[in-house]
Structure 1
């Protein structure tokens, strides 16, 4: 019995050791690679309350600096680097009143305007898309639904995502290798002239590319071989053929809750969420008003 208990405790101890993180939440500056410190000092020369830590995200190790940026109103800032000194992301926490007027105007005229917003907004800058800054406004509905609203600097709502409540933006770290960024950029520029690339990420065996094209936020899906799968975006007014098709169907008593337009190699269609009380159904209708 004692032997069994000892073995059980030994196994539990081994599992505990395996589950321990290699991250260091209080890393002395002397243990930060020189390449990282040099890159940091060249970008942030006027800081206060600087501290370092290591973070492992998707099996990649980062060195994260937390500080107050005295060159930017003393805002709380986090900067992420790899050991070779390459910069990957900067997060800056700022008051809602300090974000661009275009973002505030867009938010205050949106469907989320009546939701309770957080007083602080996150400004995100990332490698690969340095020219495209994202502002994240956290909101909560009366039904306790938490959402993160991602806006471009010129006030275009890029996407609204469920807030997972973990309070960090690690999922926003760019994970696309440089060769992928180059290939995707060339493809987007060829097929969507003057489009702005907001984000490139690998998800579920596909490449997801968020772009702003013709003043519209769009999502482009590609295979890992850079073959086009689809392009989609939110729509707020449906064509008459589509609304007539809904009225003439078994869903005539339903209302449209959400709608997206999809372009695909096999043809284009509308992906529509319909609601009637507690009932909810999703349908696909092509441009001719036919259910598919």
Structure 2
């Protein structure tokens, strides 16, 4: 889910807004004439008895920071709130409220504990938990009905002693619907709801809402529109092209589905892969369904944890697939990616085409086809580029690299290697042997061994 940098400003003016009747309000903020009467009336109607109210103007929005009255929210939450209103007409759009973990719905607590973040081994709670309400763009009402998600922040120590944080988005049913690593604290400005185009709205109404599902987020980008939804207890990611035509749906599945919801022939084909070891090594499962322009195909992607790294295995009714299936996102464009990421790729890898995108531990993974090479780029929640990597035959390693491997007493143990670029350095990663022991080496283009990790 996308969050943008918060650039807000507050004019500290101690004034009493005459149109307000609540005596507990602080009323500091912009000039009273800057916050429209429509906003003031809408705020008081939605949050009667709110205390400690201050205002800021952020573009076309008036944003109230306040303490909700006990009658509005459960007193146990006890945190502050930020509510966003369109200043021109007073329409409510979004409210974020600080809560504690114990105040989360039981289903959300259970969903978190059942996720890979909840076992306490690699990740720990930071204490930041929010309840995020956004205007329901599919079921609009005069008072502004809401779609609710809960955001839980966790942190983990990673290699080199660095620390990363991940914001986890859960639906009220406890479904993990989003992960954002190292996001900026922007009061969720990037989560403001977007109204879908008419054709997309009609499709979502008949395929999601009327089937009992909910649309959680709509993100219109230059090449089309991405939609996140929940249906029948599963997270869906949908893509519509610039002509508002549905292109594909990605649906999340889980290990428990291997002997039920996932067809037996698909599961059997997965187990025939050379990369499959046990069900426990399956990290993520995704079903992809496409439109007629893409052959009305259905395939499955299984992310497997292997000895060294993660491997994606693709399966359809015909069995194992040689690689990721081609997917035309419509209108001759690329698969969706945030505009700033797409701009970075266009600058750094001219002529590249985005062919895949995913999230892993809150990091955005983007696959591109550049100079006929499939490359994977990694970005954090601030859209900062972390690294790019791609495979190459070991026979193409530079002479200095092979000489450095030999000088260290190692011999190659695989006919493939990885090249990794990052803002700080570039290096090769190779699997080697030494004295009957397996290692993974990181070695720079000049043949200097940077790190040797024993298997």
Q: TM-score, normalised by structure 2?
A: 0.53
Distance 1:162 1:287, change over 3 A: farther
User: Quick check: 1:39 aligned with 2:79?
Assistant: no
Q: What is the CA distance between 1:289 and its match in structure 2?
A: 1.7
CA distance in 2, matches of 1:119, 1:22: 25
User: Quick check: 1:67 aligned with 2:66?
Assistant: yes
1:1-292 matches, cutoff 5 A: 23-26=8-11, 27-28=29-30, 30=32, 31-56=34-59, 61-71=60-70, 72=73, 73=75, 74-83=78-87, 84-113=89-118, 114=120, 115-129=123-137, 130-143=145-158, 144-176=163-195, 180=197, 183-192=199-208, 193-237=211-255, 239-247=266-274, 251=275, 256-265=282-291, 266=295, 267-292=297-322
Report how many residues are paired: 262
Give 1:13's aligned residue: none
Larger Rg, first or second structure (1 or 2): 2
Distance 1:260 1:145, change over 3 A: farther
CA distance in 2, matches of 1:162, 1:176: 26
Q: What is the CA distance between 1:156 and its match in structure 2?
A: 2.0
CA distance in 1, matches of 2:172, 2:114: 16
Q: CA RMSD in A?
A: 2.5
1:267-288: per-residue Cα shift (whole Å, max 9, x none)? 1112343443444444433233
Classify the secondary structure of the residue corresponding to 1:112: coil
CA distance in 1, matches of 2:276, 2:112: 32
For structure 1, the 5+ residue unaligned runs are: 1-20
1:91–1:124 contact (8 Å) kept in structure 2: yes
Distance 1:142 1:97, change over 3 A: same
Distance 1:257 1:155, change over 3 A: closer
1:29-78: per-residue Cα shift (whole Å, max 9, x none)? 5131212111111111212211111123xxxx211110111233353000
Distance 1:275 1:157, change over 3 A: closer
Distance 1:291 1:103, change over 3 A: same
CA distance in 2, matches of 1:33, 1:124: 24
Give 2:381's aligned residue: none
Give 1:5's aligned residue: none
1:242–1:289 contact (8 Å) kept in structure 2: yes
CA distance in 1, matches of 2:91, 2:146: 17
Larger helix share, 1 or 2: 1
Q: What is the CA distance between 1:223 and its match in structure 2?
A: 1.4
For structure 2, the 5+ residue unaligned runs are: 1-5, 12-28, 138-144, 259-265, 323-455
Distance 1:98 1:252, change over 3 A: closer
Deviates more, 1:268-277 or 1:199-208: 268-277
CA distance in 2, matches of 1:241, 1:206: 36
Give 1:14's aligned residue: none
CA distance in 1, matches of 2:185, 2:82: 16
CA distance in 1, matches of 2:9, 2:156: 36
Give 1:10's aligned residue: none
